Copies of this chain bind each other. A is one copy, B any other.
Amino acid sequence: MADIATQSTGAEIDLPEAFQNAFRWMVLARTFEDKIASVYRAGKIVGGVYVGRGQEAFSAALAVQLNRGKDIYAPLIRDMAGRAAFGEPVIDAARTYLGSAKGSMRGRDGNIHRGSPREGVPAMISHLGAMISVVGGMLFARRLRGELENSVGAACIGDGATSTGSVHEALNLAAIEKLPLVVAIANNQFAYSTPTSRQFACKDLVDRAIGYGIEGINVDGTDLADCLQGFNKALSRARSGKGPQLVVGKLLRLAGHGEHDDAHYISKQMRASSLGKDCLAVARKRMIAENWGSEEDCKVLEEKAIEEVENAILQASGEESPDAYTHDWNACFSERFRDTQSDP
């Protein structure tokens, strides 16, 4: 971990525990996404499927150090692992993908567009960059009310999204307000098909931090331990009032942009490079090598994950779709401000 900031105020992390914990969600995420991708290929999903293959360590390492009910977590499209770690039930992912009326989005939105804002998980809109200021606003509100205590907000984003004005405005605003915001940039080398060389010209995205007057940390996104430690630092700093933190993880998207995309534009060399390491395989090896879990433990975990995922998919598939006729077609909460315009 190349830590460009000078000092850490982090409470020491219990690495074995955090590692085991994160690993579990990584396995669950990978299992779910492999499954949902196969359901997609079988033609049973309407719309797209977006997976976080290769990004599970970076995603889980952040969320596993957050507390549901206290912290805020704004995942993006490749954060199945983080979502699970933050307490999103797998069944909700299955329901949202499969269009069950029981999903948190009730069929109104799909796939990775899910969340439960009241539980600290804003539901992403597609427009990249737009969620960071929302997390900022949540923190801002808590502080205004004196309810912030030492909670933090974490927002996930990709390398490509750093080109949006939205990310800039949100980071700058958070820095001015010194909000306890951790922004996790998963630099997976591509924005859809576009390589980072067509997205920014700085040597390292972490160099953005100084321009906001915030702290920045680089981590090896393929290495769960490094991710855990980097986020631990960032989170402790944020919790202790040091303002926004930028954490950049270097890794490679080990999948297409969506399951419709074969990612032919990712070169063999890049796949074979150290960026292309599969964080899950690396973590599994480390688990066993460090004796934080046995081969057997891993297998049990993997089998349990398969079972959980299969059950969730089965259950969600069997659930009813939303019914257009009985559906509540009102975009406004306030009844008195509903238009009298007759329905089509």
Report which A residues bind B (CB closer than 8 A).
163-169, 172-173, 175-176, 178, 197-203, 207-214, 243
Contacts and interface: CB of A to CB of B under 8 A. Distances in A.
A133 to B, nearest CB: 10
A190 to B, nearest CB: 15
Contacts of A163: 169, 172-173
Nearest to A170: B165
26 contacts: A163-B169, A163-B172, A163-B173, A164-B165, A167-B168, A168-B168, A172-B200, A172-B201, A175-B201, A176-B198, A176-B199, A176-B200, A176-B201, A201-B212, A201-B213, A201-B243, A202-B210, A202-B211, A202-B212, A202-B213, A203-B213, A207-B210, A207-B213, A210-B210, A210-B211, A211-B211
Contacts of A202: 175, 210-213
A220 to B, nearest CB: 21
Nearest to A206: B211
Nearest to A209: B211
Contact of A213 (B176, B200, B210, B213): B200
Contacts of A165: 164-166, 168-169
A52 B176 CA distance: 27
Contacts of A200: 172, 175-176, 212-213
Chain A residues touching B, majority SS: helix
Contact of A164 (B167, B169, B176): B169
Nearest to A208: B211
A197 B178 CA distance: 11
Nearest to A174: B201
A127 to B, nearest CB: 12
Contacts of A209: 211
A166 B169 CA distance: 9
Contacts of A207: 210-211, 213
The 9 closest A-B pairs by CB, nearest first: A165-B165, A168-B168, A201-B213, A202-B213, A175-B201, A208-B211, A211-B211, A207-B210, A165-B169
Contacts of A201: 172, 175-176, 178, 212-214, 243
A69 to B, nearest CB: 30
Nearest to A162: B172
Nearest to A173: B163
A213 B168 CA distance: 16
A200 B213 CA distance: 8
Nearest to A178: B201
Nearest to A216: B211
Nearest to A172: B163
Given A207-B213, A209-B211, 10 more contacts: A163-B172, A165-B165, A165-B166, A175-B201, A176-B200, A201-B212, A201-B214, A202-B210, A207-B210, A210-B211
